[in-house]
Amino acid sequence: MKLTGQSEAVIIRAMAGQGFYFIEPFTEDFLRILKVERVLFQGRTKYQLVHCFKSRIFGKMLFLDGRIQSAQVDEAIFHETLVHPGLILHPRPKKVLILGGGEGATLREVLRYGCVERATMVDLDRELVEICRRYLPEWSRGAFSDPKASVVFREARQYVEKTKQKFDVVVSDLTEPLRGSPSVPLFTQEFFARIYGVLGKEGVFVLQAGSADPHYFHFFASCARTLGAVFPVVRPYWTFMFSFSLPWGFVLASKKADPLALKEEDIARRLREREVRQLRFYHPRLERGFFSLPAYLVRAIKKGRMLEDKAPFIWEA
């Protein structure tokens, strides 16, 4: 999901017996300090450094390589915003592919849809998924055990390039491209073209695309512009994330349907027909607001660069 620097975060004991604090280095110019109520897990998987702890303000929190991935207080905002615009847009979403999403919350949201027959989640890090199942069960809420769910531990690009299956919707919940990260080749025109190829004729692709603030918007803008070279309909959107302290960007790309053509009553009807209930954040009237971007992002997308295998986006601290 959300990685933007290279230095590792540390948990330190504050002076004067004030407890433990977690330092999150977003970049060398932007640090956050969070008080730790209780450490649930800290260690390293084969692929990344993992911290999981409880905060009085944010509840349980997950950090990978020192950067926040999810917080209990607002993970529903992130995952509902990521999943529902794409699944609502497709006229008959039956087969869904999720790339990344180790916490299981993206899978949880996809499985809300009664029309979904199969949800395949592809994640590289088996150890991380097990950590999340043990320490963050509130995220998946049994999704990993759902008979409609299938979890594949494999590199996302390799899976997409080799699969013979066709999907109605693909949801990318991948970490951002740090130097040396396996995510680097997963945000390029070539990979987006592969995604296009595994989608059905009315296919929809949606991805989380990083911060959408007035300074750190380049990744978001470049993802949107690059998808425009592959898909006929591309709609960037955003929401604010309290636990990130930032507005966050997403991009929806479609082979046919346009989310701006959906009326509020169409969305409400599809939610009813697909048996989607008890959402915490997303609702029919909210969707149109997602796609209303400020002027600085509209300008940024026009200037975003094309991301290619030979020249991918790499976050630098």
Q: What is the pLDDT of residues 203-236, one digit of tens each?
A: 999 999 999 999 999 999 999 999 999 999 999 9
Q: How many CA atoms lie within 13 A of 94 on its CB side?
A: 6
pLDDT of residue 1: 31
pTM of the entire structure?
0.94
- Please report the pLDDT score of residue 222 as a whole number: 97
Q: Which two tokens stand for residue 96?
A: 């869904």
Hey, what amino acid is at 174? L
pLDDT recorded at residue 11: 73
First-to-last alpha carbon distance for the chain, in angstroms, is: 16
pLDDT for res 66:
86
Tokens of 116: 């979904």
The per-residue pLDDT for 100 is 96
Report the pLDDT value the prediction gives residue 6, as an integer from 0 to 100: 39
19: region left, alpha or beta (phi > 0 left; psi from -120 to 50 alpha): left
Instruction: Answer yes or no: 266 catalytic.
Output: no
Residue by residue, pLDDT tens for the chain (317 residues) are 333 333 456 776 665 567 888 988 877 788 889 999 999 999 999 999 999 999 999 999 999 988 899 999 999 999 999 999 999 999 999 999 999 999 999 999 999 999 999 999 999 999 999 999 999 999 999 999 999 999 999 999 999 999 999 999 999 999 888 787 788 999 999 999 999 999 999 999 999 999 999 999 999 999 999 999 999 999 999 999 999 999 999 999 999 999 999 999 999 999 999 999 999 999 999 999 999 999 999 999 999 999 999 998 887 65
CATH 2.30.140.10 domain residues, the chain: 10-71
DSSP output for 50-69? EEEEEETTTEEEEEETTEEE
Boundaries of CATH 3.40.50.150 in the chain?
75-303
CATH pick for 75-303 out of 3.40.50.970, 3.40.50.150, 3.30.300.350, 3.30.450.40: 3.40.50.150
Helix ranges (DSSP H) in 118-231: 126-135, 137-140, 156-162, 189-198, 218-227
Is 10-71 in CATH node 2.30.140.10?
yes
* Catalytic residue (choose from 173, 258, 266, 309): 173
